[in-house]
Amino acid sequence: MRDLTGILGLGISGLAALEFLKKKNKNIVVFDDKIKPNLKLKKYWKNYFNWDWARLKRIIISPGIKINGENKHPIVKLAEAYKVELHNEIELFFEQSPKPIIIGITGTNGKSTLASLISHILSENKIKNTICGNFGKPVCLINPTYRNIVIVELSSYQLLSIPSLKIDFGIITNISNDHLDYHGNFDSYLDAKLRLIEAIRDNGYLIVNHTDIFLKNKIEQKLKNIDNINVLNTCGKEIKCKNLLGEHNKILFEIAFLLSEEIGIKRSSIKSSIFNFVPLPHRMEVIYKSSYLEIINDSKATNGESASAALRSYQNIHWIAGGLEKKDGLGDAVKHLQKVRAIYLFGSSKKRFYKQLKETNFKRQIFLFDDLKELMTYLFAKISKIKNDNITILFSPAAASFDKYKNFEERGKMFKKEVFKQVKVINK
């Protein structure tokens, strides 16, 4: 009898799944490769090699654990051998046939900003909502009888293992090379993202970004085999936000506008809400401004495409980049160096980034540093001597944070800490 559920990975999502299953009085075993069990976990703890695989009904697996491409976690082969399905905690919510209106958001960049913008518009217009998934609380902890709107941010990892996923609105913000170390190749990554379309209910809505021509074409191919979906295309509508710059963000404003209008909010109210929206931290966040200097924390820019959007948005840029490089290194960022006056590289990617930059026609200075603190001390000593020009210090790493930091938030907080320390020095 298959009456046992395994949980592999006990981060936020794994612990949420454990909490959910305990309330349902399920038989559970858990394991995590990276931690030791505490007293609360010991009752359920057993190495997955020693699980009773004949009894296993399924495994709830944390989204960061690799189940696709090369170097998959060993549990994948065991699961295949014993015909055990791999799910993630989001599946636990959707199996309950939840009542809310569901908005599903995926894409390479802009997911969290769009989710928070939609939530802001809904809240400003007195519509109850909650954000969950890849950003926000774990989805399985949401009450399935909740009668309002649930916004689910979905990573490519998560989309691989939610067979019951059903949404009313689907959005893929954009697509570019990312997470290829996880998926193995771009086609697998793209296929994972496009799974969102298959999850849209009959007569539900798909909002298509008209500026991403490659993605738009792929979506059109996918839709040839799918009926009963309403498609809303963006068209370049001019919508403004006083706190969020960048051409790449304008498409997010329009997507949020189209969705909110379909929900029934008045156009004037939507535009007013967007105009007053305050963006999330670490996403082109202005952290210091003076008569000659603006400092931007864009730690969330973990790939070249995201950094290139920031590079197009400012003038007289002193660009700070580096971290754990993606497969394409700086990627599209090297195409947008026209406004850059100097580049400062740090972290494990610095030598490869330097080589990529030297292969372009970038003729200005490039500096290399072992760590961010050393870099900031040098940069501010240099900046303090040129107070007669408008300068932007742009921290947009174009790389993941995991070489030195737990996540992009920790990296962004470290950057801000160093900025505030150095600003005190130059303002003495």
pLDDT of residue 334: 96
Which spans in 52-101 are helix H? 75-81, 89-94
CATH 3.40.50.620 fits 94-275, yes or no: no
- Residue 258: name the closest of 245, 272, 270 by CA: 270
Packing angle between helix 111-124 and helix 267-275, nearest 10 degrees? 120
Distances in whole angstroms, Cα of residue 53 to Cα of each of 42, 82, 84:
19, 7, 8
* 91-134 pLDDT per residue, tens: 999 999 999 999 999 999 899 999 999 999 999 999 999 999 98
Mean pLDDT along residues 22-44: 95
* 291-350 pLDDT per residue, tens: 889 999 999 999 998 899 999 999 999 999 999 998 889 998 999 999 999 999 999 999
* Domain limits, CATH 3.40.1190.10, in the chain: 94-275
* Domain limits, CATH 3.40.50.720, in the chain: 4-87
For 4-87, which CATH class? alpha beta
* Domain limits, CATH 3.90.190.20, in the chain: 285-426
The band of 18, judged by pLDDT with boundaries at 50, 70 and 90, is very high
Distances in whole angstroms, Cα of residue 252 to Cα of each of 19, 112, 115, 171, 330:
35, 11, 10, 10, 23
Distance CA 4, CA 60 (A): 11
| Cα Rg of the chain (Å, integer) | 23
- Residue 372: name the closest of 311, 414, 403 by CA: 414
pTM: 0.85
CATH no., domain 285-426: 3.90.190.20
* φ, ψ of residue 96 in degrees (nearest 5): -90, 10
